[in-house]
Amino acid sequence: MDRTPPVITLLTDFGIEDEYVGVMKGVVFSICRHALVVDISHSIPPQNILAAAAMIEASCRFFPEGTIHVLVVDPGVGTERRLIALQADGHTFLAPDNGVLTPFLETEGIVAVREIAQPSWVLPEVGATFHGRDIFAPVAAHLAAGEPFMKIGPAVDPTSCIRLAHHRASLSEDGTVIGKVVHVDRFGNLVTNISRKDLDRLRGRTGGKTLVVHVGGREITGMQRTYGEVPRGTVLALIGSRERLEIAVNCGNASRILLISTGATVIVRPSTNVPCG
């Protein structure tokens, strides 16, 4: 008999000042005492669905198969928006149907999507403003306790689910990658939605020319391997741990120094005057 505890992750915009996260965990443990609950983050900027989507995409692959991921970044809480459960790549995701699950709606590993509509799995009294506690936490706990996924509610056509318009960067015909800053980490690094693969495709189209990153009126020529390859206080571009383009300042805060935050446009072009090397 497998005694490995089921894993539930939480990703929200609740912060840690209030009781919200702790109460969700209390609901989980009241139903499935042996669950292992892991906090991915509760510091998503309020209502920032794109940031939450980028963070869960970057994080979930490091958890074991069978993990249940609960995402509560829900500006539409209490309205008629759907709540959905999605199975993909060996994981289960519970979230509002507001685009936060876009990365997994696009994957070839998607198995099933269902609407969360099992009244016996939610709290006896469901309020209008805290579905993380009243719906998502108990549903996750019931799944962790062994209830079958198919009982969660009716099947949903994945193509009917809401998807974010700017989740991925775009590569134009003129050899330009256009993306956005989707996250500012604790160090002030600007994490974008431009992937290593996007930059590799751009290099392939341009014969391997040196790349120039344009952001906030700045031009950053070339890519570094890590932060310490430039002098302290220098702005640099590199591929970070998420396998995404980051703009950083060695031993500094790029967001504060460049006056840039989430949503800023980032453009990468091949250099016209710097030789490859």
Instruction: For residue 1, tell me if it sits in a domain.
Output: no
Residues 40 and 94 in one domain: yes
Question: Could you please report the per-residue DSSP string of 163-215?
Answer: --TTSS-EE-TTS-EEEEEEEE-TT--EEEEEEHHHHHHHHHHTTSPPEEEEE
Query: Tens digits of per-residue pLDDT, 114-172?
Result: 999 999 999 999 999 999 999 999 999 999 999 999 999 999 999 999 999 878 999 88
Asked if residue 276 has pLDDT above 60, the reply is: no
pTM score of the predicted model = 0.91
CATH of the domain at 230: 2.40.30.90
Asked if residue 83 has pLDDT above 80, the reply is: yes
Query: Tens digits of per-residue pLDDT, 228-267?
Result: 999 999 999 999 999 999 999 999 999 999 999 999 999 9
Query: What pLDDT is recorded for position 266?
Result: 97
Residues 184 and 156 in one domain: no
pLDDT band at 174 (very low <50, low <70, confident <90, very high): confident
Residues 64 and 153 in one domain: yes
Q: Do the beta carbons of residue 93 and residue 103 sit within 8 Å?
A: no
Asked if residue 113 has pLDDT above 50, the reply is: yes
Residues 264 and 153 in one domain: no
pLDDT band at 274 (very low <50, low <70, confident <90, very high): very low
Q: Is 42 helix (H, G, I), strand (E, B) or coil?
A: coil
Q: CB neighbours of 31 closer than 8 A, spacing ≥ 6?
A: 138, 141, 142, 145
Instruction: For residue 2, tell me if it sits in a domain.
Output: no
Q: Which domain holds residue 207?
A: 170-270
Q: Report the pLDDT averaged over residues 190-213.
A: 91
Instruction: For residue 14, tell me if it sits in a domain.
Output: yes
Q: At what angle do helices 20-31 and 137-144 cross, to 10 degrees?
A: 30
Residues 149 and 186 in one domain: no
Q: Report the pLDDT averaged over residues 198-226.
A: 91
**Least reliable range by pLDDT among 13-17, 93-97, 116-120, 169-173:** 169-173
How many structural domains compose the chain? Answer: 2
Residues 145 and 207 in one domain: no
Mean of the per-residue pLDDT values of the chain:
94
Residues 13 and 146 in one domain: yes
Asked if residue 93 has pLDDT above 60, the reply is: yes
Query: What pLDDT is recorded for position 218?
Result: 93
Residues 143 and 244 in one domain: no
